[in-house]
Amino acid sequence: MRVIVAKDYEELSKKAANIISSQITLKPNSVLGLATGSTPIGTYRELVRLYNEGNISFKEVVTFNLDEYYGLDSNNQQSYAYYMNQQLFNHIDIKKDNINIPNGMTEDIGLECKNYEKKIRQANGIDIQLLGIGRNGHIGFNEPDVKFEALTHLVELDEDTIKANSRFFASIDDVPKLAISMGIKTIMQSRSIILLASGAEKAKTIHHMILEKITPELPASVLQLHPNVTVILDEEAALLLTEGDLLEMEA
Ligand code: PGA
């Protein structure tokens, strides 16, 4: 794992956007795995800026989002499809047909999950997967569990996740209890991964993810086994990592 400590959220967002932008420059038809939540908002803002300045084009880019709430359609303002349109897709030249997000309104969950995996395979896999991380160590909506769930699947959301995400809803009762998420194997098959974390409330989770035991009880810890992960933190999220830890990561 490469660990980059940025001085603040602004710098973290710029660094993440620069990596994604280089990826698109080197391979204009890149397949991007995208994430939602508060953390990537600055990265998307930077990508839109780079696009507006003529530095990058998304004309040939294909995207796969990590997850979607079950039972919300894309017009629902809390859906991740709506979020992606607001934060990124409405502001760039990506083709609608190249955007993939699990369908939260599917009547056949099994088929939806199977087809999502198939589409990723047909696109020849994900070049670069952007991840946030939950306070409970989830990536996508892969919640702490007794085992790693491999492929795209229906998830029952954790109490902690429902509480954390209730800030986007009128009340906690409105937060869906189920979601469709890429699995751990789906994420691990990405050729490269960027994980972002900002703020002191993520510091303990980040310490475990990077330095402690690999366990499905902290799903992000599995990333220790991936050969090409870049973790970008702000100083607060890196609070529990010592200079020595960071030097060892570089070695
Ligand atoms: P956040 O969510 O960026 O809103 O903290 C991250 C996540 O739950 O994956």
pLDDT computed for residue 206 by the predictor: 98
Q: What is the pLDDT of residues 111-168, one digit of tens each?
A: 999 999 999 999 999 999 999 999 999 999 999 999 999 999 999 999 999 999 999 9
Query: What structural domains does the chain harbor?
Result: 2-250 (3.40.50.1360)
For a pocket test of ligand 1, which of 68, 84, 133 has the largest count of ligand atoms closer than 8 A to its C-beta? 133
* Catalytic (active site) residue 160: no
pTM over 0.95: yes
Query: Distance, CA 146 to ligand 1 centroid (Å)?
Result: 22
Q: Does residue 251 surpass a pLDDT of 80?
A: no
N- to C-terminal Cα distance for the chain? 10
Instruction: Categorize the per-residue pLDDT at 247 as very low, low, confident or very high, splitting at 50, 70 and 90.
Output: confident
Q: What is the pLDDT of residues 85-123, one digit of tens each?
A: 999 999 999 999 999 999 999 999 999 999 999 999 999
* Catalytic (active site) residue 53: no
* Catalytic (active site) residue 153: no
Return the ligand 1 atom nearest residue 35 CA.
9
Instruction: Categorize the per-residue pLDDT at 186 as very low, low, confident or very high, splitting at 50, 70 and 90.
Output: very high
* Residues within a 6 A CB radius of ligand 1: 37-39, 132-134
